[in-house]
Amino acid sequence: MSPKTRIRRFSPLQRLFHLFLMLTFLTQASTGLARMFIETRWGKNLAGFFGGYETCRTIHIYVGIFMLCGFALHVVYVLSRIKWREFPRSLFGPDSLLLQFKDVKEFFLHIGWFLNFTRGPEFDRWGYWEKFDYWAVFWGIPVLGITGLLLAYPLSASQIMPGWALNIAFWIHRIEAILAMCHVFIIHFFIAHLRPHSFPMDQAMFAGSVDVDDARHERPTWIARLEHAGSLQSALVSEPSAAGRAIFYVFGYLAVATGVFLLIGGLVNARFITW
């Protein structure tokens, strides 16, 4: 048995939510871009992979509904994790993902560290960029989901609102989708995979754990808190097996490759489509 050199960071259910999000997001990005770029050869080939222009729409709608169901389950999960007896104080604890004033402070300290002006902030369990990623998805899914449902079922939608509101829903859906894709494919992938500290890959979301020495270096407040509470030892876990790591790498880099392919294809072909 390998020594326990890693600290548990995500529960199996949280990793399952991330896996679900990865697969559905990449499917939505691919089918959505295939339809958006259908006037170009790149878009036609991409749509052809999924069975054509109309099939892309069907997949996009049903996977979108599936995503909304997943989001509803996640909201139930979040509500079940809140310590209601200590509410609302529990919302502002160190394990909470809610944005707090210390995150703003850490953001500016971090910028200062980038520029070599200050010492780097000592992060707790969640960094401000991770909280931002979480809330970006949390707000993005309902925005994309609601506008997507309105556009997918326009006859029903126009019974509860004027038809011209579909013009507006279309642009909200399009810009929010572009924002989400660019953020994930550029910023999230860079931070999780390509920055020197994480390169070649941050396995935390797949293995569920991070190297304890790395965590001590990047998140000293979190480790100190666990040590102080005496719960560090119980949070330690073993290194995942070599086969497991190989699967994480192949799967993770397939996702990165898909994202980069969509990003470059979209940027190159953006000027050839009717906006």
- Contact region for another protein (CB under 8 A) — 81-89, 177-185, 220-228, 231-239? 177-185
Q: How far apart are CA 156 and CA 152, in angstroms?
A: 9
Is the distance from CB of 204 to CB of 9 less than 8 angstroms? Answer: yes
Q: How far apart are CA 117 and CA 214, in angstroms?
A: 23
Q: How far is the CB of 186 from another protein (least distance, A)?
A: 7
Residue list 40-99, contact with another protein (CB under 8 A): none
**Residue placing its CB nearer to another protein in the complex, 94 or 162:** 162
Token representation of residue 96: 């909470």
DSSP H helical ranges for the chain = 12-36, 41-50, 53-81, 101-114, 128-152, 154-160, 165-182, 189, 204-207, 212-218, 220-229, 232-235, 242-269
Instruction: Examine residue 191 and tell whether it contacts another protein (CB under 8 A).
Output: yes
Among 98, 182, 201, 256, binds another protein (CB under 8 A): 182
Is the distance from CB of 201 to CB of 253 less than 8 angstroms? Answer: yes
* DSSP per-residue string spanning 182-200: HIIIIIIHIIIIISTTTTT
Among 87, 164, 242, 271, binds another protein (CB under 8 A): 164
Instruction: Examine residue 122 and tell whether it contacts another protein (CB under 8 A).
Output: no
Q: How far apart are CA 4 and CA 2, in angstroms?
A: 7
- Contact region for another protein (CB under 8 A) — 64-72, 154-162, 223-231, 247-255? 154-162
Q: How far is the CB of 158 from another protein (least distance, A)?
A: 4
Q: Residue 79, exposed/middle/buried by CB under 10 A (0-12, 13-18, 19+)?
A: exposed
Instruction: Examine residue 264 and tell whether it contacts another protein (CB under 8 A).
Output: no
Instruction: Examine residue 200 and tell whether it contacts another protein (CB under 8 A).
Output: no
Instruction: Examine residue 119 and tell whether it contacts another protein (CB under 8 A).
Output: no
Instruction: Examine residue 158 and tell whether it contacts another protein (CB under 8 A).
Output: yes
CA of residue 178 relative to chain centroid, distance: 14
Among 76, 78, 82, 111, binds another protein (CB under 8 A): 111
- Contact region for another protein (CB under 8 A) — 61-69, 114-122, 205-213, 244-252? 114-122
Q: How far apart are CA 53 and CA 31, in angstroms?
A: 9
Instruction: Examine residue 167 and tell whether it contacts another protein (CB under 8 A).
Output: yes
Residues near another protein, by CB under 8 A: 38-39, 110-111, 113-116, 129, 132, 136, 154-155, 158-159, 161-164, 166-168, 171-172, 175-176, 178-179, 182-183, 186-187, 190-191, 194-197, 274
